[in-house]
A and B are shown apart, each in its own frame.
Chain A
Amino acid sequence: DAKTTQPTSMDCAEGRAANLPCNHSTISGNEYVYWYRQIHSQGPQYIIHGLKNNETNEMASLIITEDRKSSTLILPHATLRDTAVYYCIVRVSAGGTSYGKLTFGQGTILTVHP
């Protein structure tokens, strides 16, 4: 799986958009970009994923550059409850007996302040 690079930490004011970048310059054509977050003492929570098109759901938006070498997770209106570690992961799609495992790096610690 391709390796990802994320900033160690970021701050964001409550109510503002949080933009979390991720570099994955060695991504392959069949690898998806996934974002998970982990709030203290809880299990990782799925946020969003995409292959090459921008994606949006009720939690966030995912912007993937045209060359797919980087992406940005956008939380449009951050709240205090969004304070967490955010993981950007690239993952081969699972198929047959191939398990599309997730490889977690260090992630970005996002702190949302009042």
Chain B
Amino acid sequence: NAGVTQTPKFQVLKTGQSMTLQCAQDMNHEYMSWYRQDPGMGLRLIHYSVGAGITDQGEVPNGYNVSRSTTEDFPLRLLSAAPSQTSVYFCASSPRVTGTLGSNQPQHFGDGTRLSIL
């Protein structure tokens, strides 16, 4: 039972380079999201998706793109890396339960990608 899998675990980039952080979940969860965590701070939401083909911005979306072509995958793209994007990135997923109260299901997190940009 893999849960939420993030790759790579570590990455070093040069300023201006692009890369894609991968996130995959095998729990058939509708909701997926990306957070970043900077030293001494809590997690901040970058982008999220409520289902395949649907994405929206979180609180710190600038410099990042996402797409959701399948339920399982939710990649995060850095188009032109900047040193300010040095951080630990976490992907999370949760199920969507149909009902009058919506979904209060907890989110499951991956183990993170540690990204350094020089």
Contact = CB atoms under 8 A, between A and B. Distances in A.
Interface string A81-114: 0000001000101111111111111110000000
Contacts of B12: none
Interface string B39-57: 0011111001010001010
Chain B facing A: main interface SS: strand
B61 interface: no
Contacts of A96: 102
Nearest to B3: A43
Nearest to B108: A46
A45 B31 contact: no
Determine the interface band of chain A, counting residues with CB < 8 A from chain B: 20 to 34
A100 B111 CA distance: 21
B58 A101 contact: yes
B101 interface: yes
Contacts of A68: none
Contacts of A95: 99, 101-103
Most buried by A among B44, B58, B101, B107: B107
Nearest to B104: A93
B50 A99 contact: yes
Nearest to B100: A95
A1 B42 CA distance: 15
Q: Which 3 A-B pairs have the closest CB atoms?
A: A95-B102, A104-B42, A43-B109
Interface of A: 30, 32, 34, 41-46, 49, 51, 87, 91, 93-107
6 contacts: A87-B42, A93-B103, A94-B50, A98-B50, A99-B31, A102-B43
